[in-house]
Amino acid sequence: MKRGIGSTIGTLDPQVNFLGYEAWIQDDMYEGLVTPGADGEPIPGAAEKWDISDDGLTYTFHLRDGLKWSDGTPLVAQSFVDGVARTLDPATASEKNYIFSSTISVTGAAEYMSADNKGVRDPKTLGISAPDDKTVVIKLDKPAPYMLYLMNSFYVAPLHKPSLEKFGKDFVKAENIVSNGAYHMSESVPQSHVTLVKNPNYWNAANVKIDKVIYSITEDDNTAIKLFKTGEQDITYDIPSDQIEPLQKEFGDQVHVTNSTETVYFSFNLKKPPFDNAKVRQALSMALDRDVMVNKVVKGGYVMSCGYVIPVPGYDAPKVPECGMDKAARVEKAKALFKEGMAEAKMDKLSLKIETTANASMRKFGETAAVMWKQVLGVNASVNSQDRDAWLAVFTAGTWDVFGDDLIGDFAGPETFLAYMDPRAEAGYNWVSPEYEALYDKAMAITDQAARYKVLAQAEKVLLDSYLTAPAAAAPSRSMVRSNVKGWVDNPAGWHGTQFMSLQ
């Protein structure tokens, strides 16, 4: 099978990778305690069953008999403990360590990853342990009803410590890697492709129907479509917005466009004047005509968004106030706020750069914002479109003005989005808000979903009122899937394990 992967691959280190498209490869190579089924819902993985305590604070996972690594050596429960401990260790520099301290509150996780620990970190202080070779116990400080969604390979991939100790960071190279999933990496060519082959030591290998899968890097979505048309790609990672309708006419139900858990927004650099002024940030957000941006320019299945969290059933999401304003009043208010904010910042003019990926839709979002900011506020805005690695490097360096941003939620719930924006998650936004933290903590201590959602909405309102971000859209999931591919099931979180598919 030949699958497109979109952008260049940053890392396939299972404890470091934070990107959704790389997770497709990781999910084929590793298996967590549970695994996303063909429909994205959790099913037994390395653990054949689990027990949950009555108070919802203790999860006990029971591993299958005879689990092995791809090199044939036994896989034991401690490897899952080692994987989480490495994710939490600051030396690993994992961007998903907050999952265990914020999205789910694993006992001792926050303290373990804290810089105040002065390098003394004992894994035995963590609320994850292996009392024997077949049992993993995870203890939480607060209930997390969505816990099982976060027990797959993207979060709790086991760690093969002998490889790490022997090769260091090179333990994920094709010639060194040892994994436990349905597939094993046989080749990795930078800027080109990754080849995976069926792992004969996988416990369910007899039911894996595809022997080899090649993930090709296709930074340009138009190139991916050409490869699909010539039969050189069975599944594309994305579809250019302006090609969806003609492709639907040509390929019918081979075009898959469905809801996803991705939110799209613009982030402002609080470390740079005048973006440290809330009035300037609010003015920039209010100057955006989201209806025109999403429904008339970008299109392609995107849905206009006035909040940070994607639409979630039962969650009464707050909205930025400009979404309910008349256009003339919105523009007038934006101009007034901008004038006030710029005066306070002691600046007469503003030039800014919007950093986006090379993805056609994300580039359109940036270009449209640049035009609107020029027309309404007189801002001289340019767009810097680049490959995903360079885009992330700019964010990490903190040199950006405005970031064409997105987040793919781990599941369809507000918790996953708001955990990421918790200032304590240290996602890189330099936002400080004790009020947000207090509301988030209050919400996460509530077991009743309706009551928890109500408090989470209050926390999201604090985020929106700060204008740290300007929300833009809820993104679709878009892929071309050849008709002879069987077993593909559209699902919001975008989990599509090759082990569930076959080629006819």
Chunked into runs of 10 residues, the chain (504 residues) has average pLDDT values of 85 89 92 96 97 97 98 98 96 92 94 73 92 98 95 96 96 97 95 95 98 90 90 92 93 96 97 98 98 96 96 96 95 98 96 94 96 98 92 94 95 95 92 97 94 98 98 96 97 94 96
Nearest to 34 by CA among 154, 121, 134: 154
Residue span(s) of the chain under CATH 3.90.76.10 come to 31-160
pLDDT at 5: 87
pLDDT at 334: 98
Find the distance separating the first CA and the last CA of the chain, reported in whole Å: 11
Residue span(s) of the chain under CATH 3.10.105.10 come to 261-477
Given a contact cutoff of 8 angstroms between Cβ atoms, the answer to whether 264 and 473 are in contact is: yes
Q: H helices within 151-233, ranges in order? A: 153-156, 161-167, 221-229
Question: What's the whole-model pTM score?
Answer: 0.92
pLDDT at 235: 96
Cα–chain-centroid distance for residue 19? 6
pLDDT at 431: 97
The tokens of 443 are what? 């919400």
Produce one character per residue of 115-133: b if its CB has 16 or more CB atoms within 10 Å, e if not. eeeeeebebeebbbebeee
Nearest to 481 by CA among 302, 257, 260: 257
Strands 2-4 and 212-216: parallel
Domain 31-160 matching CATH 3.90.76.10: the answer reads yes
pLDDT at 10: 78
Domain 261-477 matching CATH 3.10.105.10: the answer reads yes
Tokens 């967590």, residue located: 32
Nearest to 405 by CA among 239, 266, 229: 266
Q: Which residues pair with 355 in a beta bridge?
A: 384, 403
pLDDT at 117: 60
pLDDT at 119: 63
Nearest to 264 by CA among 356, 201, 395: 356
- Residue 249's SS3 state is helix
The tokens of 306 are what? 């006035």
Nearest to 466 by CA among 405, 423, 428: 423
Angle at the Cα of 475 from the Cα atoms of 472 and 476, rounded to 5 degrees: 155
